[in-house]
Amino acid sequence: MFRFSVLIACFLVQYSSILMAQSAAKKFTLVIHGGAGVITRANLSSEREQEYHRALDSALRIGYAILEQGGTSMNAVEKVVNYLEDNPLFNAGIGAVYTADGTHELDAAIMDGKTLAAGAVAAVKRIKNPISLARLVMEKSEHVMLIGEGAEKFAQTQNITLVPNTLFDTPARKRALERIQQEEREQATKDSIKQDSIRKANLKKRSASDKHGTVGAVALDIHGNLAAATSTGGMTNKRFGRVGDAPIIGAGTYANNGSCAVSATGWGEYFIRTVVAHDVAALVEYKGLSVQSAGQEVINKVGKLGGDGGMIILDTKGNFSMPFNSEGMYRGVITQENKPTTAIFK
């Protein structure tokens, strides 16, 4: 009898440790954003708000399906960003903002936290899903970043069909461009007698309310690997040829299993100057800060310079944070527990 109970006890111990190992191995997390700064409570109707929640929720479920099956964090962030690029609600792919000369120029980057391999494209005009081209740059070229025409020529060698730039048109973004250009014309007349500093202050006000947007994802897969991806149309009324932070490795996008994965959104010039994504990773790696403290410290730095926006950060333990200094940031999280949560305001 005694031997029998010992046997049963051994069996139970072993069985529960197998179960524990399985559930530990199944741990994964996906964090996404759909841009910061476009939105104030006042200018977002409740129907529109629901549309955003639904879209973020769908994006999370796409990533969940991949990660749950044991798929890689690289595949998850790419596919999630593909969905957001195709969704006209967000400023990336279809629904991208307009440049000052009425076209769209798209930037994107992806990074693998396991190998530190990275790929990026900037100012591409005829690529439906820039994040997938960024991944091809990483995997199929000897370079990290390709821009404009060169990136598009490379795309053709990878059997990617070029699309007309008008594919990215949406009436809402067109109206935003017209509004900003009209304001700028009015301002220019007034500014002819004002100083430069006042003009800059006006530009800042506009930036917060009208110009931003980007999509991004960071993921941790069951193999313990991190990845980050960011894709954007940039900022409304940008000069053609302007490149933001999203495709700059270390500014808008970064991933390293030794620290964390980061995808940023906001006024790109400030995020480049403060090298946001790598700064966060460096604080985590060298100073041992949590993703919360590191993110807060860096977003404060951006704010002090005059920039606004936010970011999503995730480490290999599944700790994440989503700091932002704008009124809102479209964002969401899902883990192996399959409880998607989405949020827009603070």
Q: How far is the CB of 321 from ligand ASP (least distance, A)?
A: 18
Kindly name the residue from 72, 99, 214, 316 that is annotated as catalytic: 214
Give the distance, in angstroms, between the CA of residue 121 and the centroid of all CA atoms in the same chain.
Answer: 14
Which range, of 113-121, 127-135, 137-145, 260-268, touches ligand ASP by CB under 6 A?
Answer: 260-268
Under 8 Å between Cβ of 310 and 325: yes
Q: Which residues between 28 and 57 bind ligand ASP (CB under 6 A)?
A: 35, 37
> What is d(CA 12, CA 340) in angstroms, rounded to the nearest whole number?
33
Tell me the residue type at 31. Answer: V
Tokens 């993921």 correspond to what residue? 219
Q: How far is the CB of 108 from ligand ASP (least distance, A)?
A: 11
Number of residues interacting with ligand ASP: please give it, by CB under 6 A: 17
Strand-strand pairing, 341-345 and 106-112:
unpaired
User: Interface mask (CB under 6 A) for ligand ASP, residues 201-220, using x and -?
Assistant: -----------xxx------
Q: Contact between 323 and ligand ASP (CB under 6 A)?
A: no
> What are residue 339's phi and psi, to 5 degrees?
-120, 85
> What is d(CA 177, CA 46) in angstroms, rounded to the nearest whole number?
24
Q: Which residues between 228 and 247 bind ligand ASP (CB under 6 A)?
A: 232, 234-235, 244-246
For residue 23, give both structure tokens: 């559930």
User: Can 335 be counted among the known catalytic residues?
Assistant: no
Buried b (16+ CB within 10 A) or exposed e, 244-273: bbbbbbbbbbbbbbebbbbbbbbbbbbbbe
**How many Cβ atoms from other residues are within 10 Å of residue 219's Cβ?**
31
Residue closer to ligand ASP, measured from CB, 103 or 319: 103
Q: Which residues between 261 and 320 bind ligand ASP (CB under 6 A)?
A: 265-266, 268, 271, 309
List of residues contacting ligand ASP (CB under 6 A)? 35, 37, 212-214, 232, 234-235, 244-246, 252, 265-266, 268, 271, 309
Which residues are known to be catalytic? 214
